[in-house]
Structures are given as C-alpha cells and as structure tokens.
C-alpha cells in the first residue's frame, strides 16, 4: 500500500494483494515518449528500522540514435513493512543521483504507477511468477547498480543449467564479451570479490587476473560492435561449471571492464544494471571519448 506521504510503497504482509504488493515485485520504466538511454532509476527500500538498502537499477536499452532496443523489468524482493523508494540516476559521470519528488498511485489489483520528478513513469506490480533459484540469488547480489554478478550455483547441482545469453548494443568499436569465475568461500559459500585469489581492489593485478581467466559462453568469446547489433548464444553449465560469475567486457584498446564502481583503470563505473540480469557497458575509458551511454555492450542472461 502507499504510505501516508504518498512517496513510498509498502509491502504489508497483512493486507490483501489488491491493496498492497506481494513479496516479489517487478519494476519497469513505462514507455513514455521522449525517454532516452540516460533515463535510469535507482531502486531502494527503507527498512523497518529506517535504514536504506539498495535493490538495483532499471532503465531501457536505447541505440545511439535513441531508438528503443530492449527493456526488462527489475525483479526485487521486499521484506515485511519495507517501503520502496525510487530515485532518478544520471550516468555516474554526469552527476549521479538526484533528489526528486516521487508520486505513487494505485491502479488495479497489485499494480501501481510511480512518477519520478513529474516525467519519468514506472510500472510496479506484484510478480506472478516464482523466480528460479539463481534468479532469486542474483536479486540479492545485484543490489548495487554496478554488481554485474550471477550466482549459477544450484541446490541440487547435478542437472545441466541451460542459459541464453543475449548480447546487443550500439558502438563503433569492436569489443569482446565474456565472463570470469569469482572465488567463493568453501565454508560459507559467500562470493568473494576476487578472481583466482586476486582481490578486485588490486587494480592492474586484478584486471590482469580477469583477462587471464576470461571465459566465453560454451567456448565462444564473442566480438561485437561496429554499429547496432544483436545476437543470442546458448550457454550450458554442467554441475562443475555452476559457479559465481561476473560479466567482463574487453574493449578494442584492451581495457578490462567488469563489476564494481572502481575496478576500471580510469577508476570510473563502466557497467550499470538496466533490469533483472541485464547490464550495459560503456566501452571507452575516460579520455578515450567516452559518452557514458552504457549501450555499447549490453548483456542479458536468462534460462533457456
Ligand atoms: Ca558509449
Ligand atoms: Ca553507444
């Protein structure tokens, strides 16, 4: 239900679905005329104790001429009495987060509309499908908008996991796309911010480790670019391959971009979340003519 101030949306476990949101919620930017690739919304919740928790970001994929290419909702999980908050995000390099008025309104059962700053509309609805195990896992590990990380570990861990990897975008350069396995704690199972023992804070050593451990999708390391493009690859993970992975983009000039806000050589955020398991990269380093459109290499992973 909408809070008394009209600027937050509650998950109230005691209410009927028609009045409130279920635990799993899909958030999508509405198809409003005039939207550009820069229109991007950060999703947070205010917990019952008043603390703020990030849930990720949602936007659309636009070509450089602003033609709409792809969009996908952001799936988030709300705990009882958490209040959903929305903030317009600008590309981190041109101002970042801005504080604006958000107005929520109730549509029909379990459906809401939110308008950020009077012009950026989002559709919010209780999700009518159960997320898969790894989707549920990624909801918590993709909470920062720069967390391009997937947890493909399955509880049973014996059946192959069949995935589809959609790669699309608009860029002049030719860039490579792949993944890297992340270290996990053998006891707790926690995903560690390291590759082959090298921490993501290790700068050039970390980027070298990412490059040295780069993997493709079923052995295919796609090169993409030279204009607007789209391709879909199959990726099957057998039990031994079901692990934690991060997306990686190697630029035409050999720069390494992966998860995190400061892992790139220029210290800038080169990846941002555009929807559930959907991430866009900016392919040029600061000083190489970067325009921070984050549509140069866009990757979506879903179950096949
Ligand atoms: Ca760009
Ligand atoms: Ca571009």
Detail the DSSP E strand segments found in 72-203.
74-77, 83-89, 102-106, 111-116, 120-126, 149-151, 161-181, 194-195, 198-199
Q: pTM of this prediction?
A: 0.93
Cα Rg for the chain, rounded, in angstroms?
19
- CA–centroid distance, 57 to ligand 2, in Å, is 19
192 CB neighbour count, 10 Å cutoff: 14
pLDDT digit string (tens) for 137-184? Answer: 898 899 988 999 999 998 887 899 999 999 999 999 999 999 999 999
- CA–centroid distance, 138 to ligand 1, in Å, is 26
pLDDT digit string (tens) for 230-289? Answer: 999 999 999 999 999 999 999 999 999 999 999 999 999 999 999 999 999 999 999 999
Domain ranges of the chain: 9-126, 146-303
Q: Does residue 97 surpass a pLDDT of 70?
A: yes
Q: Please, which pLDDT band fits residue 20 given cuts at 50, 70 and 90?
A: low
Q: What average pLDDT does range 76-99 have in this prediction? A: 79
Q: Does residue 187 surpass a pLDDT of 60?
A: yes
Q: Which of 27-36, 74-83, 283-292 has the lowest mean pLDDT?
A: 74-83
Phi and psi at 255, nearest 5°, equal -70, 145
- CA–centroid distance, 36 to ligand 1, in Å, is 14
Q: 3-state class of 22 per DSSP?
A: coil
Counting Cβ atoms within 10 Å, is residue 271 exposed (0-12), middle (13-18) or buried (19+)? buried
CATH class label, 9-126: mainly beta
Q: What average pLDDT does range 130-139 have in this prediction? A: 87
- CA–centroid distance, 90 to ligand 1, in Å, is 14
């Amino acid at each position: 239900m909408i809070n008394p101030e009209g600027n937050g949306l509650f998950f109230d476990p005691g209410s009927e679905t028609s009045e409130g949101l279920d635990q799993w919620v899909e958030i999508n930017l509405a198809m409003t005329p005039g939207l550009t690739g820069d229109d991007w919304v950060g999703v947070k919740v205010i917990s019952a104790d008043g603390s703020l928790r990030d849930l990720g970001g949602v936007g659309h994929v636009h070509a450089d001429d602003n033609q709409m290419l792809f969009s996908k909702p952001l799936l988030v999980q709300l705990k009882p009495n958490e209040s959903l908050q929305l903030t317009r995000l600008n590309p981190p390099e041109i101002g970042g987060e801005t504080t604006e008025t958000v107005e929520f309104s109730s549509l029909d059962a379990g459906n809401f509309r939110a308008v950020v700053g009077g012009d950026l509309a989002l559709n919010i609805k209780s999700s009518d499908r159960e997320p898969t195990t790894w989707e549920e896992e990624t909801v918590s590990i993709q909470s920062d908008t720069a967390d391009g990380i997937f947890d493909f570990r399955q509880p049973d861990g014996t059946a192959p996991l069949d995935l589809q990897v959609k790669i699309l975008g608009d860029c002049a350069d030719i860039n490579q796309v792949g993944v890297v396995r992340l270290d996990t704690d053998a006891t707790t199972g926690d995903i560690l911010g390291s590759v082959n023992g090298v921490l993501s804070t290790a700068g050039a050593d970390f980027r070298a480790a990412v490059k040295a451990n780069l993997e493709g999708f079923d052995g295919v390391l796609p090169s993409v670019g030279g204009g607007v493009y789209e391709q879909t690859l199959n990726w099957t993970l057998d039990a031994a391959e079901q692990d934690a992975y991060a997306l990686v983009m190697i630029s035409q000039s050999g720069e390494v971009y992966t998860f995190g806000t400061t892992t790139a050589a220029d210290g800038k955020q080169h990846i941002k979340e555009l929807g559930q398991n959907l991430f866009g990269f900016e392919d040029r380093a600061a000083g190489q003519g970067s325009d921070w459109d984050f549509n140069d290499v866009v990757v979506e992973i879903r179950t096949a």
